[in-house]
Amino acid sequence: MKTLFIAIMTTSMLLTSTHALANNVTFIIDDIKSDQGKVYVQLFQGEKNYQANNAYLSSIAIAKKGQITITFNNLEDNDYGIRYFHDENDNSAMETNLFGMPIEGYGYSNSAKANYGPVEYQAIKFQVADAAVTNRSTINY
């Protein structure tokens, strides 16, 4: 997990300038419980990449109690999904208990909820095509 998230601060994209500027995603995370640590956010393009843990873009935001907003700009037309966690102890990794269940806050686009185990891509995906998109999520602790 750590290496996946050590990323690429990339809210302003340099790579895909041929696409419409309107293909921006504004992602709002609600109910963050503290200012401690950071929030690691991954954007996946398509189900295969989600399943393969192959993030299209990643971002790290300073945690802020309440709400934070992350934007991903100039995306290709496609479907995407987002997942994130609140790295409260600032060790660049999502803490889990000994059975592998998260013990730091986490969440998904569409505010999809886990039902023991990762959420299916179908529950988190949203379309990006020639228009700005806003997506919201409430974090789970």
In whole angstroms, the minimum distance from the beta carbon of 92 to other proteins comes to 17
Q: Using CB under 8 A, which of 6, 103, 129, 131 touches other proteins?
A: 103
End-to-end CA distance of the chain: 18
Of 28, 23, 27, 26, nearest in space to 131 by CA: 23
Q: Is 63 in contact with 48 (CB distance < 8 Å)?
A: no
Per the DSSP assignment, residues forming a β-bridge with 58 are 42
Give me the count of residues in the chain: 141
> Rule CB under 8 A: is residue 12 a binding residue for other proteins?
no
> Rule CB under 8 A: is residue 62 a binding residue for other proteins?
no
CA distance 101 to 83: 15
Of 69, 83, 73, 85, nearest in space to 111 by CA: 83
Q: Using CB under 8 A, which of 14, 18, 115, 130 touches other proteins?
A: 115
Q: Using CB under 8 A, which of 16, 54, 95, 134 touches other proteins?
A: 95
CA distance 118 to 91: 22
Q: Is 32 in contact with 136 (CB distance < 8 Å)?
A: no
Q: Using CB under 8 A, which of 3, 17, 18, 97 touches other proteins?
A: 97
Q: Using CB under 8 A, which of 17, 21, 117, 130 touches other proteins?
A: 117
> Rule CB under 8 A: is residue 33 a binding residue for other proteins?
no
Residues in the interface with other proteins (CB under 8 A) total 12
> Rule CB under 8 A: is residue 122 a binding residue for other proteins?
no
> Rule CB under 8 A: is residue 90 a binding residue for other proteins?
no
Residue ranges in contact with other proteins by CB under 8 A: 95, 97-99, 101, 103, 113-117, 140
